[in-house]
Amino acid sequence: MTRRVVITGLGVVSPIGIGKQNYWDSLVSGKSGITQISKFPLEGFASKIAGEISNFNPEDYGFSRKDIRRMDLISIFAVIAANEAMEDANIVITDPYRAGVMVSSGIGGITTFEIQHSNLIERGPTRVSPFFIPMMIQNTTPGEISIRFNLKGPNFSIASACASSTHAIGESFETIRRNDADIMVTGGAEAAITEMAVAGFSSMRALSTRNDEPEKASRPFDRERDGFVIAEGSGVIILEELEHAIKRDAKIYAEVTGYGATADAYHITAPCTSGLGSAKAMEFALNKAGISINDIDYINAHGTSTPLNDKIETTAIKTLFKEHAYKLAVNSTKSMTGHLLGAAGGAEAIATVLQIQNKILHPTINYTTKDPECDLDYVPNKARNFEIKNAISNSLGFGGHNASIVISKYE
């Protein structure tokens, strides 16, 4: 008998709110979290905007000054989100070897890397922190979570750029299905609003330069889109085997029913123009869920606001869903949050769950000019009452990585 996997806890740190209720309130009201970057001087930067976690002090969330000195911001964000998710799920761990962590990042501890590199250049090798390596490597993040909650099951991270946390959720789903765990803490975290990261993405011409109107810069599927807006945060969910959840009378938000992963094998950064890789990832996820294209009501798109991504993702949806594509609702959480890179899939899975639960679609904001090559229903600018039975959440990453999960109403 196939083991079913349900979602019993949610935790989020985002530019539009910390905590799932604040996050949801902002999503449904169409609030933008994009502002001018405050973390470093902006002279010479083509892109000067980001989705920052504003007015953030880790001490407000129980971190000591010692903790803060020894943890990169990705781990801090992830622990806050994991703590909310664990409290939300109300879990007491009885067998720690049946509970694991798979929380990913696309870039890792680049903040730590930049600070310690400056120490090396300016002050010499003896002034590089002994915590440099463990702070920087991304697998420390699930390690930190496991230590805090005594979770001794499968524990690692996945690096697939902006698909990292959707891959993490999908692989956690598979871990429970094959009976290697009963509980998985999963999702992603990212903290890459740094001089090097912004300069690098700017050199690629990947970022929006709509600096005079930050809140209008992220505009997925709009004809005037000019690039993505870098953002930071974390999205963590608790996956649990159904019978395990029922036995403890857990609150069940939704069910993960399918997962598909493919590679474009095309280009190191650009998506394949046919969209076939993404279409296949969605197809494989549907097959695993045992449902047809006509059973999908809604897609949370990768929707980055880059000229290529949005056009090709639209092509992928139409390739798989054919005429049914025009009956689907498709929206982009990134229109409000910006692009959380390796954490995007975790935050967007939570957005998908909350939309299923509340029977409301959040809008794709800043959609003002139709693009003839993006001709689906993107839920423009205003939330909409809508019942979702089966949804897909998509993530695509540099390197040609495609990941799709099916999240279904629990029945």
Length of the chain: 411
Tokens of 118: 């400056």
Gap between the Cα atoms of 314 and 337, Å rounded: 20
Q: Provide the residue range defining the domain that includes 144.
A: 5-247
Q: Are residues 131 and 171 in the same domain?
A: yes
Catalytic choice (167, 339, 362, 401): 339
Q: Which residues pair with 17 in a beta bridge?
A: 14
Q: Are residues 45 and 126 in the same domain?
A: yes
Do 74 and 145 form a contact (C-beta atoms < 8 A)? no
Q: Are residues 60 and 172 in the same domain?
A: yes
Gap between the Cα atoms of 145 and 142, Å rounded: 5
pLDDT value, residue 103: 98
pLDDT value, residue 1: 74
pLDDT value, residue 106: 96
Q: Are residues 162 and 282 in the same domain?
A: no
pLDDT value, residue 271: 87
Domain termination site, one of 190, 219, 247: 247
Q: Are residues 229 and 350 in the same domain?
A: no
Q: Are residues 14 and 59 in the same domain?
A: yes
Q: Letter for the amino acid at 322? A: K
Q: Are residues 152 and 57 in the same domain?
A: yes
Q: Are residues 163 and 67 in the same domain?
A: yes
244 is catalytic: no
Identify which of 7, 9, 29 has the alpha carbon closest to the alpha carbon of residue 19. Answer: 9
pLDDT value, residue 29: 98
Identify which of 306, 368, 365 has the alpha carbon closest to the alpha carbon of residue 32. Answer: 365
Q: Are residues 71 and 168 in the same domain?
A: yes
pLDDT value, residue 6: 98
Gap between the Cα atoms of 18 and 215, Å rounded: 18
Gap between the Cα atoms of 230 and 252, Å rounded: 32
362 is catalytic: no
- The b/e string for 117-131 (b: 16+ C-beta within 10 A; e otherwise) is eebeeeeeeeebeee
pLDDT per residue as tens, the chain (411 positions): 789 999 999 999 999 999 999 999 999 999 999 999 999 999 999 999 999 999 999 999 999 999 999 999 999 999 999 999 999 999 999 999 999 999 999 999 999 999 999 999 999 999 999 999 999 999 999 999 999 999 999 999 999 999 999 999 999 999 999 999 999 999 999 999 999 999 999 999 999 999 999 999 999 999 999 999 999 999 999 999 999 999 999 999 999 999 999 999 999 888 889 999 999 999 999 999 999 999 999 999 999 999 999 999 999 999 999 999 999 999 999 999 999 999 999 999 999 999 999 999 999 999 999 999 999 999 999 999 999 999 999 999 999 999 999 999 999
Q: Are residues 263 and 218 in the same domain?
A: no
Catalytic choice (167, 302, 362, 401): 302
Domain termination site, one of 247, 276, 298: 247
Catalytic choice (162, 167, 272, 401): 162
- Domains of the chain: total: 2
162 is catalytic: yes
- The b/e string for 258-296 (b: 16+ C-beta within 10 A; e otherwise) is bbbbbebeeeeeebbeebbbbbbbbbbbbebbebeeeeb
CATH code of the domain covering residue 338: 3.40.47.10
3-state secondary structure (DSSP) of residue 316: helix
